Structure 1
């Protein structure tokens, strides 16, 4: 394999475009001084490229070969770096470091780094993934995303989920405030003062959130939260609730409530696909802006903080914009499955 672009080229698309403009300006009968002033270049530059074009036509606009040190890295070494990175691991380790690989191939660590960059290889990185095994994966994607992109008329769509066991954590030492050049500091250890569960329903059209705090998240607690949604929703509107496949969402007590309130319809996301539920994006904001750096000495303080956060959010609520179509999502899943189904996997 040859590393494309390994040898540096001095000429660029912008440089060739400038030379072409010089030639075109001269072809219109303008003097060298006039062309130089018009294009903002030196007079010698115009003279040189005009003369080279007259002598060699288009070939004259390219750079002449320039002297320099010969390449010290062969194509075989480049190929070895790429193949070892993709197909091998060092003894006793899970992935290569640039110094280990450089020693094996016989080149410098900086050369290994440049090869990795050129081929988009990052062996030090890893990401988690889970492919849904839901037999109704495609149907559920089309159902949920369809509600985001084209919500039904005379209806409201809520993205609903629970954030269980939010901990009231108190740091063992006071938090040190931020100073110029010094970030906020807090102790790594903490004391626990109990947990609480948060039910949240995100209105996908307005961004408004309906929240309910509970000590547990059983089926009856989810039923009670549906009652709260019912109380905060115009009775003339149908209610579509997007939720995950938690057993509490499918319990008999929920089925009985749906029969008693036919304007409610539950839509389930595919298994292992919480990313498709928009309320998860709101939970991420809650975690980042309120919980990660919060200090709560009691459940009461945590409860107050959560209620304040929801009230503040609703004051300046904004919806999350969903742009991916069902076909785009399904195509991306298919492409990824095809890539990881090759012989190397």
Structure 2
């Protein structure tokens, strides 16, 4: 049977101009540009097969958009609304949830839950959860921080940051601290290895086998570490560690040590020893500002990569395992780059203080 005769596609001047613009403009979506080219080619005449071959699409695609244009003209080239459940949460409801989360407290509770917010707004818990996820709101989460009250805070920040970002010539900058009370612990049952779809599993309880302290000096420039275990962390052990640093570093280099304000770093015995060894220069971080000591970042690596998931049946075993890990670290050390200068840090803390003053709590 012969194919039915197709209705001719006739364009007005305005339609031809709009379609030509859609087909040429770079910002037009590729789908709309293709549909515009199909209609423009159909208006030139010819069969559906000829149009499909010229445009580079299937016959069904040409037939679909040809028919849509004839029935609805330019509006027919837009995508039709997709099937599915209509939206049930309005913009006003979303705004209400966000405002309540940020500006109000849920009665006597300290923070909102999906249940309490759902009751307060008349919405479902799943809707509240979706809104919070979309806007990155986590009322259940809290982060802690501490503001230093050191009267010399500004001077100490500039001193330590200056060492990190502009170290003196012919000198070594070492971030020094003790990781005290490192526990040799063993799980009460053997750990189960990782398997497909199943993580490694270990018992939550453990047996303690003693503690040790790790004294470490992190070379800010190279990332290498001088470290030594001691069973205690008194000023006597700190002096022994200073002597170890003195022996390990070439005598022609000055030594600038970044330290916290722990009492063992400032005893009369330590001060006398420093007078006799003038190449040592101590720089103290502000009180309650351990985040300024880069060796703490290295301690975090040690904890996450070695200590957290290991088991040891004695302090000697723990010390040997940590020593092996440090030796491996020093074969390919990784320095941590300090990026914020003193002014940026002080500006950030000033903004925190302003927020505290403006807070209702």
TM-score, with length taken from structure 2: 0.76
**Partner residue of 1:157 out of 173, 180, 185:** 173
Q: Which runs of 4+ in 1 moved over 4 A?
A: 63-76
Could you tell me which residue of structure 1 aligns to residue 273 of structure 2? 257
Change (3 A) 1:320 1:99: same
Could you tell me which residue of structure 1 aligns to residue 296 of structure 2? 280
Change (3 A) 1:66 1:156: same
Q: How far does the alpha carbon of each residue in 1:126-154 deviate from its partner, in whole angstroms, 9 at most, with x for none?
A: 11110111111121111111111110000
Could you tell me which residue of structure 2 aligns to residue 18 of structure 1? 28
Change (3 A) 1:169 1:235: same
Change (3 A) 1:19 1:230: same
Q: 1:268 Cα shift? A: 0.6
Number of equivalenced pairs: 316
Gap regions ≥5 residues in structure 1: 1-14, 48-59
Change (3 A) 1:70 1:287: closer
Change (3 A) 1:343 1:301: closer
Q: 1:71 Cα shift? A: 6.8
Could you tell me which residue of structure 2 aligns to residue 240 of structure 1? 256
Could you tell me which residue of structure 2 aligns to residue 94 of structure 1? 110
Change (3 A) 1:194 1:64: closer
Task: Decide which structure has the larger Cα Rg and report it.
Answer: 2
Q: 1:199 Cα shift? A: 0.2
Could you tell me which residue of structure 2 aligns to residue 202 of structure 1? 218
Gap regions ≥5 residues in structure 2: 1-24, 43-50, 67-74
CA RMSD of aligned residues (A): 3.5
1:325 and 2:341 matched:
yes
Mean alpha-carbon deviation: is it higher for 117-126 or for 321-330? 117-126
Change (3 A) 1:321 1:70: same
